[in-house]
Structure 1
Amino acid sequence: MKSITCLIVDDEPIARDIIAAYCKHLPQLTVVASCDNALEAKAVLQQQPIDVLFLDINMPVLSGISFLKTLRNPPQVIFTTAYKEYAVDAFDLAACDYLLKPFSLERFIVAVDKAIDRLQPVQAVLQTAPEPVAEPYVFVKADGKIYKIAHDELLFAEASGNYTRINTTAGLLMPGMTFTSFTGLLPVSQFLRVHRSFVVNKSKISHIEGNRIFVGPHEIPIGSNYREAFLRELGV
Structure 2
Amino acid sequence: MTCIIIDDEPIAHHIIEDYAKELKDLTILKSFYNAVEAISFLNTNKVDFIFLDIKMPKLKGLDFIKMLTHPPAIIITSAYEEYALEGFELSVTDYLLKPFSFERFLKAYQKVAQLKTNISNTNVKVDAEDQSIFIKGDKEIHQVNLNNIIYLESYGGYVKVHLNTQKPIVVHQSLKFFETNLNTNFIRTHRSYIINKTYIKSIKGNLIKLQDNDLPIGKLYKIHINKLLEN
Relative to the length of structure 2, the TM-score reads 0.63
Report SS of the residue matched to 2:75: strand
Q: Quick one: distance in 2 between partners of 1:108 and 1:53?
A: 13
Q: Quick one: distance in 2 between partners of 1:216 and 1:87?
A: 30
How many residue pairs align between the two structures?
169
Percent identical across equivalent pairs? Answer: 38
Q: Aligned letter for 2:139?
A: P
**1:187 equivalent in alignment to 2:169:** yes
Please list, as runs of the form range in 1=range in 2, the aligned pairs for 1:141-220 lying within 5 A after superposition. 155-159=150-154, 178=156, 180=158, 182=160, 186-187=168-169, 196=176, 198=178, 211-213=183-185, 215=196, 217=198
Greater share of helix: 2
User: Cα distance, 1:183 vs. partner?
Assistant: 5.3
**Structure 1 portions without partners, runs of 5+:** 133-152, 160-176, 200-209, 220-236
8 Å CA contact retained: 2:73, 2:93: yes
Q: Aligned letter for 2:62?
A: I
Relative to the length of structure 1, the TM-score reads 0.62
CA 1:87/1:9 → structure 2, altered by over 3 Å: closer, same or farther? same
Q: Aligned letter for 1:217?
A: T
Q: Quick one: distance in 2 between partners of 1:21 and 1:194?
A: 32
1:37-86: per-residue Cα shift (whole Å, max 9, x none)? Answer: 00011111112101010000011111100000000000110000000000
Q: Quick one: distance in 2 between partners of 1:43 and 1:218?
A: 32
Of 119-128 and 104-113, the range deviating more from structure 2: 119-128
User: Cα distance, 1:216 vs. partner?
Assistant: 5.1
Q: Quick one: distance in 2 between partners of 1:218 and 1:7?
A: 36
**1:67 equivalent in alignment to 2:70:** no
1:150 corresponds in structure 2 to none
Q: Aligned letter for 1:105?
A: F
Q: Quick one: distance in 1 between partners of 2:81 and 2:113?
A: 24
1:146-165: per-residue Cα shift (whole Å, max 9, x none)? Answer: xxxxxxx9611144xxxxxx
2:123 corresponds in structure 1 to 123
User: Cα distance, 1:196 vs. partner?
Assistant: 2.6
Q: CA RMSD in A?
A: 3.4
